[in-house]
Amino acid sequence: MFGARCKTTAMGIMPHTDIEKALELALSLDIPFWPQLPKISFYEDMYAQASKNFPGIVVDTENKRLNFNTSRFEQELGELF
């Protein structure tokens, strides 16, 4: 008989505003994970992290927004090559 030996984990962004509770959850699973907490800091958002230096992306930390500028994309993409 087949018996699955699956373990539980999670990944990515969590809605928590309490760091201790988020870490408690992240460390309570079979496979611990690194939580991202964008409600604590804008820099915890995976899009803000991944878009750094991406052509055309404007990171507005004051308003906690990412914007895409097409003309800037064309210019910056050309500078990469």
pLDDT tens-digit profile, the chain (81 residues): 888 889 999 988 999 999 999 999 999 999 999 999 999 999 999 888 888 889 999 989 899 999 999 999 999 998 887
- Structural domain includes residue 17: yes
- Residue 63 neighbours by CB under 8 Å, 6+ apart: none
Same domain, 55 and 34: no
Q: Quick check: pTM over 0.95? A: no
- Structural domain includes residue 44: no
Same domain, 34 and 58: no
**Which domain covers residue 78, as residue numbers?**
51-81
